[in-house]
Amino acid sequence: MSIIFGPVPSRRFGLSLGIDLSPEHKACNFDCLYCELEPAKPVDHIPNPPSVEKVVKEVEEALQRFLDVEVITITANGEPTLYPHLDELIDELNKIKQDKKLLILSNASRIHEPQIQKVLAKLDIVKLSLDCATQRCFKRLDRPLKSISLEQIIQGMEQFRRVYPGLLVIEVLVVKGINDKREEFARLGQVLRRIKPDRVDVGTIDRPPAYNVEPVSYERLFELSRELHGLPVTIVSRHFGQNYFTNLSKEEILDLLAHRPLTQEDIAYLFDKQSQAMVRELEREMKIKKIKVGNVEFIEKSSA
């Protein structure tokens, strides 16, 4: 199996070259209901991991072929922080990455470990998952190894944020009937405001999941994300309807943007044509402005 995949375009991070640190088997310490890989018992190590030399050589070759790559993404058929030589690998990738950004996609299970925090702090972008704010929901949805506690993960994220100057993104994946309750999101909002990530990506199931679970609608994601006020939230979903908001006045749009910055995509999905025209007018009047977080542009109310 190949260690390198892509490049694939990622709307949130740019053109991404993927590194799979567990190319032979799924190796994860979670067994999430929504996983896109096959169901598998959680494990605490990657069996037969590729050597650092092999990974670096393949990345070097790929970078010579694909000159437009913007981000090198460390991932696994499972959890990449289980890779035993992660520290050495990140040092080597930092030497050869040129102007590309180095990103890891992790389930955050080891973020409370000081050594893992030190290693991840060498990356340009760290994306961690946090689907639930309560242990009950976490156990039901992410089905981790028994030794993993949500409280430790949350504390680890707070500590990591304090020492990490790079781009910290937290991803929340919503599954119908499990973590799609307002109360769960209200608690998540409290926790996330303490962690202070640069961005929160809220999404739902997009591809066939490991178990029999269902996505929620774009509108539901939007309603839930209102509990995450004060945070730059993006909604990542293909399950959208249209025209959640119709005939909004300028004041209503400004009020909405003051509470929750929206992406251009949100506006295209949620606003009817007339309300979208109002947004363009507000932009011309400089009552709203654009800010960029990673590869994502938000529209928010101007402070003046």
Binding site for ligand SF4 (CB under 6 A): 28, 30-32, 35, 37, 78-79, 107
How far CA 227 is from CA of 88, 184, 193, 253, in Å, comes to 40, 9, 11, 18
Give the whole-angstrom CA distance, residue 16 versus residue 110: 24
Give the whole-angstrom CA distance, residue 177 versus residue 10: 28
Please state the closest distance from residue 31 (CB atom) to ligand SF4, in A.
Answer: 5
Please state the closest distance from residue 34 (CB atom) to ligand SF4, in A.
Answer: 6
Output the CA torsion sign for 218, 35, 194, 133: positive
DSSP state of 50: P
Let me know: does 92 contact 64? Beta carbons within 8 Å: no
DSSP state of 51: P
Pick the closer one to ligand SF4 by CB: 3 or 37.
Answer: 37
Pick the closer one to ligand SF4 by CB: 31 or 266.
Answer: 31
Give the three-state DSSP class for 116.
Answer: helix
Let me know: does 72 contact 100? Beta carbons within 8 Å: yes
Please state the closest distance from residue 40 (CB atom) to ligand SF4, in A.
Answer: 8
Please state the closest distance from residue 67 (CB atom) to ligand SF4, in A.
Answer: 30
Pick the closer one to ligand SF4 by CB: 20 or 227.
Answer: 20
Pick the closer one to ligand SF4 by CB: 69 or 133.
Answer: 133
Pick the closer one to ligand SF4 by CB: 110 or 260.
Answer: 110
Please state the closest distance from residue 207 (CB atom) to ligand SF4, in A.
Answer: 11
Give the whole-angstrom CA distance, residue 125 versus residue 204: 22
Pick the closer one to ligand SF4 by CB: 107 or 263.
Answer: 107
Please state the closest distance from residue 35 (CB atom) to ligand SF4, in A.
Answer: 3
Please state the closest distance from residue 211 (CB atom) to ligand SF4, in A.
Answer: 10
Helix-strand-coil percent breakdown of the chain, rounded to 5? Answer: 35, 20, 40
What SS3 string covers 162-198?
A: HHCCCEEEEEEEECCCCCCCHHHHHHHHHHHHHHCCC
Pick the closer one to ligand SF4 by CB: 197 or 232.
Answer: 197
Task: Select from 249, 247, 273, 276 the least CA-distant residue to 262.
Answer: 276
Please state the closest distance from residue 38 (CB atom) to ligand SF4, in A.
Answer: 9
Let me know: does 69 contact 100? Beta carbons within 8 Å: yes
Pick the closer one to ligand SF4 by CB: 105 or 188.
Answer: 105
Burial (CB count <10 Å: 0-12, 13-18, 19+), residue 240: middle
